[in-house]
Amino acid sequence: METVKKARMVVDKAYKIAVVDERIYGSFIEHLGRAVYGGIYEPGHPEADEFGFRRDVIELVKELRVPIIRYPGGNMVSGYNWEDGVGPLEQRPRRLELAWRTIETNEVGSNEFAEWGRRVGAQVMMAVNLGTRGIDAARNLVEYCNHPGGSFYSDLRISHGWKEPHRIKTWCLGNEMDGPWQIGQKTMDEYGRIAQETAKAMRLVDDTIELVACGSSHSGMPTFPQWEATTLDHTYDTVDYISLHQYFGNRSKDSANYLASSLEMDRFIHTVISVCDYIKAKKRSKKTMYLSFDEWNVWYHSNEADTKIEPWSIAPPQLEDVYNFEDALLVGTLLISFLKRSDRVKMACMAQLVNVIAPIMTENGGGAWRQTIYYPYMHASVYGRGVAINPVISSDKYDSTDFTDVPFLEAAAVYDEENDRLTIFAVNRSLTDPLDLSCDVRSFEGYRIIEHIVLEHDDLKAVNLAGAELVKPHSAGNAKVSGGILESRLSRQSWNVIRLGR
Ligand code: AHR
């Protein structure tokens, strides 16, 4: 028997969390699988532009309004020589790429990627190699990318055909350096020291850049959260952000538990903020450390297939998760987690963007399409800009295998004052029942419903394939406002975007 769940909520424009940094809607392209070759770049494809970039992919990325994209890795960066990817194409070496055990052709490198970033309207977030390399390669890359001219590396860039500097502002000091899988893994003190000294040299080349130090590879690492404390002890004055990475998966085939995983992300963010503030207090510092959640997503569907990949192939289909509807719901709750802590989370990158654990898929020589997770990501990126409002929520709850007191309703609100818009993002986690939402929006006088977008499906396992997109949003949601109270019956297992305005 259906029992309707209930939730009450107050959204008051006075309860501001922070201005949402649009870079929380960032993403990531690694030289891995078919992300670059066959994904963003495929010369010879009917949609290829003069650089070999696929126009159909560019259009899908633009629709997402991705503001910043991390590059070139990921694990790959810890063995990468950036010099291999610049200069005349025919002179670029083919290398054994050790992180993913493939052949890297280096047809695309820093210049091409910066150009692609301009074409999709995104900034580049560049990672430097602190695995096999260090201070010297990092400072030279900053000079190559950002110095206007009149020095060895900036003139080299100009001689390669890129007269204008790329002006890359955001730089990552390595990748997941605590991980035993990482080439050149470091202890926390080794990493703290190399990150500090590399940061210093990079800033001497360009004092306008901002820097992200590596936090733990995920919250389950044995050295978490001491890794963050030690790293920040070494680098607090020199870096601007500490990174967080986390992937999720419904491995135990327990959907109610899976959909509660955003509570784990909330806890992870909370702990990292606490560590940052502990170091701030210890150092008597006035500076606040911000968080860059620069790898997050669902990643598990492709794990088994990836064990069968032939080593040393070029751009094989790796990490090609086919996402289902429940993954889209989880992604919605994770985006809500970022909004709830938008006072401290200033960047976040959905990992990744094309073909590799990605919202966008392509066929080599064929079409491009949107996975299920594309939709909540697009909705948040397009409508979630403005000031995040702290919603006071009282919701019916449930217990799952790993979590207690899981609210059926997960929600966030963003107020775009300039355009007189309020957007409420809401997930009904119940797998069986609709949820009656009653939301007090009296402080938004005269606001009415513009649109109530819903992503729903009866089958949690429904997927989108080439030419068959089963999971798509519609705008026939039932939200209405009367006397300053918004009422809506949210379908069971649904992602909702309720847009209000004058
Ligand atoms: O995004 C895939 C991989 O996940 C990245 O290369 C690495 O940083 C993380 O472990």
- The predicted pLDDT at position 404 comes to 98
Measured CA to CA, the distance from residue 131 to residue 121 in angstroms comes to 30
**What global pTM score does this model have?**
0.97
The H or E element spanning position 155 is: helix 152-159
| 110 close to ligand 1 (CB < 6 Angstrom) | no
Residue 106's CB is within 10 A of a number of other CB atoms, namely 22
How much is the mean pLDDT over the chain? 98
Digit-coded pLDDT (tens) for 226-268: 999 999 999 999 999 999 999 999 999 999 999 999 999 999 9
Q: How confident is the model at residue 162 (pLDDT cuts 50, 70, 90)?
A: very high
Measured CA to CA, the distance from residue 466 to residue 322 in angstroms comes to 11
* Measured CA distances, 368 to 60, 215, 422, 467 (Å): 8, 34, 32, 9
- The predicted pLDDT at position 365 comes to 97
Phi-psi region of 486 (alpha: psi -120 to 50; beta: other; left: phi over 0): beta
Share of the chain above pLDDT 90, in %: 99
Q: What is the DSSP letter of 142?
A: H
Measured CA to CA, the distance from residue 33 to residue 75 in angstroms comes to 12
Asked if 295 is an active-site residue, the reply is yes
Q: At what angle do helices 374-383 and 55-64 cross, to 10 degrees?
A: 60
Query: What is the rounded radius of gyration, in angstroms, for the C-alpha atoms of the chain?
Result: 23
- The predicted pLDDT at position 2 comes to 73
Mean pLDDT of 327-342: 98
Measured CA to CA, the distance from residue 339 to residue 411 in angstroms comes to 9
Mean pLDDT of 323-335: 98
Measured CA to CA, the distance from residue 81 to residue 110 in angstroms comes to 11
- The predicted pLDDT at position 1 comes to 67
| 75 close to ligand 1 (CB < 6 Angstrom) | yes
Phi-psi region of 8 (alpha: psi -120 to 50; beta: other; left: phi over 0): beta
Q: Which atom of ligand 1 is nearest to the CA of 28?
A: 1
Half-sphere exposure (Cβ direction) of 102: Cα atoms closer than 13 Å: 21
Which residue do the tokens 């094309």 mark? 354
Asked if 420 contacts 501 with a C-beta cutoff of 8 angstroms, the reply is yes
Query: Is the pLDDT reported for residue 448 higher than 70?
Result: yes
Residue 129's CB is within 10 A of a number of other CB atoms, namely 24
For a mutational test of ligand 1's pocket, the pick from 30, 76, 77, 350, i.e. the residue with the most ligand atoms closer than 8 A to its C-beta, is: 30
Query: Is the pLDDT reported for residue 225 higher than 70?
Result: yes
Q: How confident is the model at residue 346 (pLDDT cuts 50, 70, 90)?
A: very high
Q: Whose CA is nearest to atom 3 of ligand 1?
A: 74
Digit-coded pLDDT (tens) for 34-65: 999 999 999 999 999 999 999 999 999 999 99
Asked if 417 is an active-site residue, the reply is no
Share of the chain above pLDDT 70, in %: 100
Q: Whose CA is nearest to atom 4 of ligand 1?
A: 74
Q: Whose CA is nearest to atom 7 of ligand 1?
A: 74
Query: Is the pLDDT reported for residue 413 higher than 90?
Result: yes
User: How far apart are the CA of 283 and the centre of ligand 1, in A?
Assistant: 32
Asked if 90 contacts 74 with a C-beta cutoff of 8 angstroms, the reply is no
Asked if 7 contacts 436 with a C-beta cutoff of 8 angstroms, the reply is yes
User: How far apart are the CA of 235 and the centre of ligand 1, in A?
Assistant: 23
Asked if 96 contacts 105 with a C-beta cutoff of 8 angstroms, the reply is no
Measured CA to CA, the distance from residue 112 to residue 97 in angstroms comes to 19
Q: How many residues does the chain have?
A: 502
Nearest Cα to 109, choosing from 24, 17, 41, 204? 41
| 30 close to ligand 1 (CB < 6 Angstrom) | yes
Measured CA to CA, the distance from residue 218 to residue 176 in angstroms comes to 9
Digit-coded pLDDT (tens) for 87-111: 999 999 999 999 999 999 999 999 9
SS3 306: helix
| 351 close to ligand 1 (CB < 6 Angstrom) | yes
Q: Whose CA is nearest to atom 2 of ligand 1?
A: 74
Q: What is the DSSP letter of 431?
A: S
Measured CA to CA, the distance from residue 120 to residue 26 in angstroms comes to 12
Mean pLDDT of 164-185: 98
